[in-house]
Amino acid sequence: MRQNVQRKPEPARRKVAVIGTGYVGAVTSTCLASLGHTVCGLDTDSTRAGQLNNGQTPFHEPGLPEILKSTLSTGRLRFTDCHAEALSDAEFVFLCVGTPPGPDGAPDLTQLESAIQSLAPHLSANAVIVNKSTVPVGSGNWTRTILEDALEGNRQLTFHVVSNPEFLREGCAIEDFLYPDRIVLGGAPSDVSRVAELYQPVLDQSFHGGRRGVKPSLITTELASAEMIKYAANAFLATKISFANEMAQLCELFGADVREVLPAIGADHRVGNAFLNPGVGWGGSCFGKDVAALISTGQEYGYTSSMLQSTVEINKLQRASAIRKLQRELHILKGRRIALLGLTFKPGTDDLRDAPALDIARRLLAAGAVVSAFDPVVKVLPDEYAGVRLTPDVYDAADRADAVVVVTEWPEFRQIDPHGLRRVMRGDLILDGRNCLPEDSFIGSGLRLIGFGW
């Protein structure tokens, strides 16, 4: 006897516009389209829109080129510089524009305000504005006010505002979007439910390639709480790294080994090992900006964020500590040849924003050192680092070097041949700025390996 098998209903396919095709916008556009939605990414830069339409990514992100090309081929994804084309009939409009820090550390919302105003003439009735940009607490209501003012001639048009902060790690962005720990949505319950429907294939892992064992949490809050969650999360992670660095400094003073201390702390399930990584400190476009924004916003309310200020100060000290270690071992830096291995702020990306390596390079150049560098993905440096000689490989960078400094923990650096380094170096000092090199492999190589916290 034939049994009637009920098929699981197909997830709803929605029309989505994404304003901004930078890191967050490009990943969001591509991944939403891969889930079956019809997505148009909007960027005022026609060249960038054209590159993306041709399957060319404007930055290094593992896995993005492949998923971009495959999704473009379905016809569900396109990019444009035309507001009318992107926003026509869009049910959801994602705001993914930059909010860089201003001189006082507060986020500069100029780009976001411009994006909000620009969508007003093309907004569809009942559309949901989804803010993925990192914004100060209260920006959801500010967004609503800006848009209402821009819609002055069309007051009858209804729209909704939801906060959906992003938690994408550079180098792991596709993984983080499709297999997240949690999805945070803030706003009115009915509006949040509509956005949650967009993410349903992720929440139940029903898309092609979904993982049965992964069940992301859906966290729904008020607008202000969702906006605060992003800042609080990044501030905590930055503080955890700075705590590890503080412990490293104390271990050096006390004669303890931080490589033994921190794993023991992390073994406690209440703590965990993630981000307990001492070294030259954190960088990138998020931690510093978000911590500064929290400090600045607190000051507006008369509150001094002492712990967060210490988090920033400790991070600055770690970069200076790398220079002090070199001075202690080499005595003088003027005329010394220093090779930097790794330039990006972390492995898996080509992002140089607030990269510790560039700060260290600047300090070395100012001290009169001769600086060479190798990074697996960086081929060009900003003009102000013209004094740094970029090389094609590790051993070319280390040629005649008095010291080699590992600044970014690219996996391939763990495979460095110490004997090969010794053959090309003039000196014998290796400063492991990430405590990532296998110490045993350097025994008998004729090199002196030093790090942070031991």
User: Which domain range does residue 387 map to?
Assistant: 286-450
422 is in an annotated binding site: no
363 is in an annotated binding site: no
Residues 175 and 47 in one domain: yes
Average of pLDDT values for 133-158?
89
Q: How, if at all, do strands 337-341 and 403-406 pair?
A: parallel
Residues 202 and 327 in one domain: no
Final residue in a domain of this structure, among 165, 192, 221: 221
Residues 210 and 323 in one domain: no
Q: How many residues does the chain have?
A: 454
324 is in an annotated binding site: no
Residues 217 and 340 in one domain: no
Q: Give the amino acid at 323.
A: I
Instruction: For 340-385, write each residue's pLDDT tens digit.
Output: 999 999 999 999 999 999 999 999 999 999 999 999 999 999 999 9
The reported pLDDT for the residue numbered 12 is: 73
Mean pLDDT of the chain: 95
Taking the C-alpha atoms of residue 261 and residue 322, their distance in angstroms, rounded to an integer, is: 21
157 is in an annotated binding site: no
CATH number, residue 145: 3.40.50.720
43 is in an annotated binding site: yes
Q: What is the DSSP string of 23-62?
A: HHHHHHHHHHHHTT-EEEEE-S-HHHHHHHHTT--SS--T
- Token digits of residue 226: 């969702």
353 is in an annotated binding site: yes
Residues 217 and 320 in one domain: no
Final residue in a domain of this structure, among 221, 250, 265: 221
Final residue in a domain of this structure, among 199, 221, 243: 221
* 117: number of Cβ within 10 Å: 14
Instruction: For 3-15, write each residue's pLDDT tens digit.
Output: 444 444 556 799 9
Instruction: For 409-438, write each residue's pLDDT tens digit.
Output: 999 999 999 999 999 999 999 999 999 999
In a domain, 42, yes or no: yes
Average of pLDDT values for 235-244?
98
- Is there a catalytic annotation at residue 31? no
Residues 86 and 209 in one domain: yes
Give how far Cα 8 sits from Cα of 5, 11, 12, 206, 308, Å: 9, 9, 12, 10, 48
Catalytic residue among 31, 40, 96, 286: 286
In a domain, 3, yes or no: no
The reported pLDDT for the residue numbered 3 is: 44
- Token digits of residue 163: 């906060």
Residues 211 and 322 in one domain: no
Sign of CA dihedral 145, 107, 286, 221: negative
- H or E element in which residue 271 lies: none
Residues 316 and 207 in one domain: no
277 is in an annotated binding site: yes
Residues 380 and 304 in one domain: yes
The reported pLDDT for the residue numbered 10 is: 57
In a domain, 274, yes or no: no
pTM above 0.85, yes or no: yes
Instruction: For 192-225, write each residue's pLDDT tens digit.
Output: 999 999 999 999 999 999 998 888 999 999 999 9
In a domain, 408, yes or no: yes
In a domain, 107, yes or no: yes
Backbone angles phi, psi at 198, to 5 degrees: -60, -40
Residues 292 and 216 in one domain: no
* 62: number of Cβ within 10 Å: 14
Backbone angles phi, psi at 226, to 5 degrees: -60, -40
Residues 64 and 209 in one domain: yes
Q: Which strands make up the sheet holding 337-341, listed edge to edge?
A: 389-390, 370-374, 337-341, 403-406, 429-432, 448-450
243 is in an annotated binding site: no
283 is in an annotated binding site: yes
What long-range pairs does 116-122 form, CB within 8 A, spacing at least 24? 116/143, 116/146, 116/147, 116/150, 117/146, 117/147, 117/150, 118/19, 118/83, 119/17, 119/19, 119/83, 119/87, 119/93, 119/147, 120/147, 120/150, 120/151, 121/83, 122/83, 122/84, 122/86, 122/87, 122/88
Comparing 98-102, 392-396, 450-454, which segment has the lowest mean pLDDT?
98-102
- What are the DSSP E strand ranges found in 179-216? 182-186
- Residue 145 three-state SS: helix
The reported pLDDT for the residue numbered 109 is: 95
Give how far Cα 362 sits from Cα of 122, 188, 323, 333, Å: 47, 48, 11, 13
What percent of the chain is predicted at pLDDT more than 70? 97
Residues 216 and 314 in one domain: no
In a domain, 272, yes or no: no
Q: How many domains does the chain have?
A: 2
In a domain, 372, yes or no: yes
Taking the C-alpha atoms of residue 117 and residue 114, their distance in angstroms, rounded to an integer, is: 5
442 is in an annotated binding site: no
Contact 77/29 with Cβ under 8 angstroms? yes
In a domain, 44, yes or no: yes
- Token digits of residue 159: 């729209």
273 is in an annotated binding site: no
